[in-house]
Structure 1
C-alpha cells in the first residue's frame, strides 16, 4: 500500500494548547524570564482540562522552552514558544536510546585509548575545547560547540581510525543527543565538570580511570526528560462542565 495512504494521525489536544500558548506569548510580547498564566487559569480560558495544559507544559519543558518551578509557576526560557512538532520529538525519542548505547560503548573505549596514546598536542586540544565550552556557558549558551570539540579531541587522541570512522558515521545522531542533554536545566555546568574529570584521567595516562569518567559522563547525558515523556498519555476531553469552572476534570 502506498505510504501516502497511511492512517491519518488524530491531532492531540495538548498540541492545540501549545499552538495557543505560542500565539499568546507572541501577542503579549513576553520574553525570557516572564511567567505564563497559572495552569488553572489557562485551562479555564482555553476550555480544556488542566491535564491537557499540563501535557502541553511538559512538551515545552522537554524542548527547553519553559522552566516549571515547583510551587512557583512556569517561566519562559527564551523569547518564543516555537516548539518542535510533536511527531519529530516522538521519532527522536525512539532512536535516542540506541544512540546513547552506542556512545557509551564506543566513547568509553576511546577515552581509555586516549589516555594511553595522547600527546601534548592532544592534551592542548582537549583543554582548548574545555575553555571554549566554559566561555560559551559563561555567555549564557549551552556549550554545544565546546562539547563537540571536546569529544572530537578525545577521539583524535585515541588514534583509532575505525572507531573514529564509526563516530563520524553517527555524528548527526550524536549531535541530537548532545543538544538534548545540554538543554536540561543545570546540565551544561555539570557536563563541563565531568569533562574536566575525563581530561584529568587522560592527562595522567590512566586508561581505566578515563573510561570510568567517560562512562559516568555519558550516563548523565542519557538522563533526559524526553525519554520519560509519554506522547500517548493524553487527555481527550474538554473541560469538565461539572468542575465548577476551575479548569480541572474528574481524572486529575
Structure 2
C-alpha cells in the first residue's frame, strides 16, 4: 500500500468546505426536481430556508456554480440552469479552479499592473471618459442590486485600451475567460462589489494624475483584493 511518508499508510483527505456540500445538495435538488437547461432555480431566500443555511452561505455555492458555467445568475430573474453536470464533475472542476486561481491572479498582476502604469503615461481624454463611463455603469449596477460584473469588465477593458499597447491588450484578451472566473468569484463575496468599485476609482484617479507608480500600486491593491477570494 502506498504510504505518505509517516509509515502509517494513510493519505490525508481534505475536509470538504461547506459551500462544496451545498453545491452537492443543490445539484441533488436540480436532479430530483427534474430541472433542465433554461429552467429557473427557486429564489435564494426559498433555497436558503429549505437547506437551513444563511443566504450569504448559499450565495457562495451559487457563485461557485456560476463560475463553472452551470448556472447563469441574471439580475431581476434569478439563477437559470445552463446545463446539468454530474456532482463528481463539478467538485473536480471546483478543485481545479482553486488550484489555478493563484496562477490567474499572478498573470493578472503581471499584465494589468503594467497596463495601468502605461495608461497613466499614455491616456487620452477619450480613454479617461471610457473609464469614467465604466465606473458609472458599475455603480448603477450595484445600486440596482446586482454585482457590477458588466461594469467591472468594461473598466478593465478601458484601462487596457488606455495603455495603447496592442500586444499586452491581446494577452489580456487571451486570458479573458480565466479572468472571468476571478471576476465572478470575487464579486460574489459579500460587500465586494462596493469595495471593487472604490478600488477602481483609486486606479482612475492615479491614471488621471499621470502617475505611473501610483497607478501600478492602485492596480496591484485591486488585484490583491481579487485574490482574497474563498471560492
In structure 2, what is the equivalent of residue 242 of structure 1?
none
**Corresponding residue for residue 204 of structure 1:** 209
Q: Aligned match of 1:222 in 197, 204, 227?
A: 227
1:119 corresponds, among 111, 124, 148, to 124
Task: Using CA pairs under 8 Å that are at least 6 residues apart, name the structure with larger relative contact order, 1 or 2.
Answer: 1
Change (3 A) 1:216 1:89: same
Cα distance in 1 between the residues matched to 2:129 and 2:221: 23
Maintained 8 Å contact 1:62/1:225: no
**Is there any run of 5+ residues in structure 2 with no aligned partner, and where?**
1-15, 36-40, 65-76
* Root mean square deviation of aligned Cα: 3.1
> Hey, what does 1:136 align to over in structure 2?
141
Which of 62, 85, 93 aligns to 1:88? It is: 93
1:191 aligns with 2:196: yes
- Distance in 2 (CA, whole Å) between partners of 1:102 and 1:171 is 11
Query: What is aligned with 1:36?
Result: 49
Q: Is the 8 A contact 1:112 1:211 kept in 2?
A: yes
Any unmatched runs of 5+ in structure 1?
1-11, 40-52, 66-77, 227-252
**Contact 2:60/2:188 (<8 A) preserved:** no
Residue 136 (structure 1) shift: 1.1
Report which of the two structures shows the higher radius of gyration computed on alpha carbons.
Answer: 1
Q: Tell me the equivalent position of 1:61.
A: 60
The residue number in structure 2 matching 1:100 is 105
Superposed displacement of residue 120, structure 1:
0.5
- Tell me whether 123-132 or 88-97 shows the greater mean CA deviation: 88-97
Question: How high is the TM-score relative to the length of structure 2?
Answer: 0.69
Match of 1:146 in 2: 151
Question: Aligned residue pairs: how many?
Answer: 185
Offset at 1:172?
1.0
Measured in 1, the distance between the counterparts of 2:139 and 2:104 equals: 26
